[in-house]
Structure 1
Amino acid sequence: MLEKIRVVLVNTSHPGNIGGAARAMKNMGLKSLVLVDPKKYPHQDASSRAAGADDILENAQVVATLEEALAGCSVVLGTSARDRRIPWPLLDPREAADRCLHTWQADHTAEIALVFGREYAGLTNAELQRCQYHIHIPADPEFSSLNLATAVQVLTYEARMAWLKYTEQPTHMPEIEATGMLGTAPATHESLELFYQHLQQTLIEIDFLDPAKPRHLMARLRRIFGRSQLKKSEVNILRGILTETQKAARGEIIQRRGEHV
């Protein structure tokens, strides 16, 4: 689906925004960029802001009119920052992504356009009327003006999320073994039992736990740590702390004994 979505930027004033939009597209796996009568393009600022998305810029299509940019599209969705009181189907970014997906599901050859207007004024009413759907990003009304590249990022992100969900691909990094960089493998039952034994012994040594009157302390601590779903690396850290606590406590005990000799 993503390769069937073209991002259309209309009459962009600042070339840096074109580069920023290209970078946002590449981040989310989109490749087709169409520029309608840009003020300055090509331009070094566009290349600098693209930050590695130079292939998107190199393959960008530059046209004179919106009609040329939309040629061959089955569905056109235009962004609108203001309520122009035009009775047109209005979608939020997530709904717009779903509309793109449904269009692609119905026809895998269908071309889809996401149209973005000028930085200072957006799309004109006449341009919006060429779109079957209008998209409104529900930003804070106290500060609702989004940078062009940011708006592209929001919509392309939602498109990617819809695609990942449809294709049942993960939307987060998989956990890795404890030997990996993050050490996110879960602790085993055996390692947890050794930890609880170590914790109990340490609490006894520092006089926090009276084995004659335990008052369910260990059961309560098991519930606390159980809710945390400790990882192997975390158990190792905690046991390291317990070991150093024992060393400190034993040194203090020896010192106390020496004072009473």
Structure 2
Amino acid sequence: MEEREKAVPQSAATRGRGLLDNVVVVLYQPEDLVNVASVVRLMTNFEVTGLRLVEPAAWDPWRIEAIAHGGQEVLAAARRFATLEEALADCSLVLATTGRPRELVRERLTPRQAARALLQAASANPGAPAAVLFGRERDGLPNSVIDRAHALVTIPTDPGHHSLNLSHAAGIVLYELYVAWCEEARPERTRAETGHPMAVPVDRPIAPGSQRAEMVGAIEELLETLHPHTSPARRAAALSRLEALLLRAVPDPHEVELLINLFRHMTRIARAAGQAPRR
């Protein structure tokens, strides 16, 4: 169940941030209060206030505030969730940070490219925030979490030392996001080179996390119906590949609804043909 901290009135400066208010930072199972505090401080530095925590190992706003000087606004608006699905239920574009190689073909963005994609999605989806995920300090984001993302964000580093501290990675991504936002909000400033957006346009409506989860559930039910005797591990691998394929297209709500109806219709046909009993 979601737990929300007591909100404080927005200042004029906060209301003026525009697109940055529709971008959220999601920390998945953070373990160290100091790292959480560092991220809060960075968010304050770069004018991002949307913080969501999924299953934090410890949560003490008083201690965090003592470390993250000036982070009261971020802490007051912070939201805690019991599951990742709840944290992403209202989100549009979801990007996951990782430095590890992946067997599945997924689009990889630099922080600079990711910043442009996040702002485009935030602009095209009012009220449905774009999200960037950061993982546990010890081992980063697990595959099951990375599978929920439309694309990956990888920070170029020495291949022999690719792992970054949680707050360091957040600092790089938030910096690029802020630079990209400055180009949009403050065109009088010298424009920096910001790379290219995602190959698939994201400046349009994107199906929210809750709808994408419904689509994945429909695919899973279809696979169980078609292959009832296949091991759960093999079905899970197939589901992961199909989900990655569909998310690369960044489907809009109408497209996802069509896919959900298609998969459910296929399941009904398979059951009527006697291929598998109803669950």
Alignment TM-score > 0.5, same fold: yes
Give the equivalent residue in structure 2 for 1:157: 175
Which whole-Å CA distance do the structure 1 matches of 2:50 and 2:84 have between them? Answer: 15
Q: 2:111 aligns with which of 93, 115, 119?
A: 93
- One-letter code aligned to 2:67: R
- Secondary structure of 1:96's match? helix
Which whole-Å CA distance do the structure 2 matches of 1:151 and 1:23 have between them? Answer: 13
Give the equivalent residue in structure 2 for 1:47: 65
TM-score by length of 1: 0.62
Shift of 1:143: 2.5
- Secondary structure of 1:145's match? coil
Give the equivalent residue in structure 2 for 1:139: 157
Shift of 1:104: 2.8
Q: Is 1:4 aligned to 2:22, yes or no? A: yes
With over 3 angstroms needed to count, the CA separation of the structure-2 counterparts of 1:8 and 1:142, relative to structure 1, is same
Give the equivalent residue in structure 2 for 1:83: 101
With over 3 angstroms needed to count, the CA separation of the structure-2 counterparts of 1:48 and 1:147, relative to structure 1, is farther
Shift of 1:170: 5.3
List gaps (5 residues or longer) in structure 1. 173-261
- One-letter code aligned to 1:106: A
Shift of 1:171: 5.1
Which whole-Å CA distance do the structure 2 matches of 1:121 and 1:45 have between them? Answer: 25
- One-letter code aligned to 1:54: Q
Q: 1:28 aligns with which of 42, 46, 71?
A: 46
Shift of 1:75: 0.6
Give the equivalent residue in structure 1 for 2:83: 65
Structure 2 counterparts to residues 229-240 of structure 1, below 5 A: none
Which whole-Å CA distance do the structure 2 matches of 1:12 and 1:171 have between them? Answer: 36
Give the equivalent residue in structure 1 for 2:184: 166
Contact 1:17/1:46 (8 A) holds in 2: no
- Secondary structure of 1:115's match? strand
- Secondary structure of 1:164's match? helix
How many residues in Structure 1 have an aligned counterpart in Structure 2? 172
- Secondary structure of 1:8's match? strand
Deviations 1:10-62 (Å, cap 9, x if unpaired)?
Answer: 10110111110000011000001001001111265423331221221232111
Q: Which has the larger radius of gyration?
A: 1
List gaps (5 residues or longer) in structure 2. 1-18, 191-279
Structure 1 residue runs of 4+, over 3 Å off?
Answer: 107-110, 168-172
Which whole-Å CA distance do the structure 2 matches of 1:94 and 1:71 have between them? Answer: 26
Q: Percent identity, please.
A: 35
Shift of 1:91: 0.6
